[in-house]
């Protein structure tokens, strides 16, 4: 929520709700909020190391709520201190989703799940000349399920459901239904 540019209303509460639901579903959870670039990169390394320790038949899940941007077909997750004045700042100040996909691909042969509640308007419009909005469609490694808060290239609706953003609130409600498959 604590972005320097474009603060959000629901990202932190969404992350707490998902963390609780995932713990209740027997996932080991790494949960961080309002992270800067350095903390985000450290968390990805921790995630990758924990995946390796859990073994190749484990299910791994990556959930993100916050700002993200698509530039030249690549999705970037934006830490709260992102200073993006040109697209060349992205690799220095934002998290390339390919890093997350690589962490999932290296050690998991079972199901890999990526949930991105990040398809909002780009708060860094000053250097984006593309008419597209939202995030780009991604292809994950074999066995990967990728879920967006809206269709690729679209912007999600903002609002609340049960104290969470619309997408995550509905996702948590669906996860509470017993015996529901993904």
Give the model's pLDDT for residue 66.
93
32-81, pLDDT tens digit by residue? 999 999 999 999 999 999 999 999 899 999 999 999 888 888 899 999 98
Nearest to 123 by CA among 84, 159, 156, 165: 84
Q: Which two tokens stand for residue 180?
A: 């529901």
Nearest to 27 by CA among 18, 40, 37, 16: 18
Nearest to 167 by CA among 34, 66, 20: 66
Question: Taking the model in full, what pTM does it have?
Answer: 0.89
Give the model's pLDDT for residue 133.
59
85: confidence class by pLDDT, cuts 50, 70, 90: confident
What are residue 164's DSSP bridge partners? 161
Give the model's pLDDT for residue 137.
73
């Amino acid at each position: 929520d604590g972005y320097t540019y474009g603060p959000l209303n629901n990202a932190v509460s969404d992350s707490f709700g998902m963390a609780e639901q995932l713990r209740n579903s027997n996932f080991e959870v790494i949960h961080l909020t309002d992270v800067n670039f350095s903390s985000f990169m450290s968390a990805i390394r921790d995630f990758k190391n924990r995946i390796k320790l859990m073994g190749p038949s484990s299910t791994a899940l990556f959930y993100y709520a916050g700002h993200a941007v698509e530039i030249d077909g690549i999705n970037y997750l934006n830490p709260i201190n992102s200073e993006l004045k040109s697209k060349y700042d992205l690799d220095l100040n934002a998290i390339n989703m390919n890093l997350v996909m690589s962490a999932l691909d290296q050690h998991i042969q079972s199901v890999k799940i990526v949930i991105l509640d990040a398809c909002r308007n780009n708060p860094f419009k000053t250097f984006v000349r593309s008419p597209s909005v939202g995030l780009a469609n991604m292809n994950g490694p074999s066995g990967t399920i990728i879920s967006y808060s809206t269709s690729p290239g679209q912007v999600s609706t903002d609002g609340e459901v049960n104290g969470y953003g619309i997408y995550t609130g509905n996702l948590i409600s669906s996860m509470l239904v017993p015996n529901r498959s993904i």
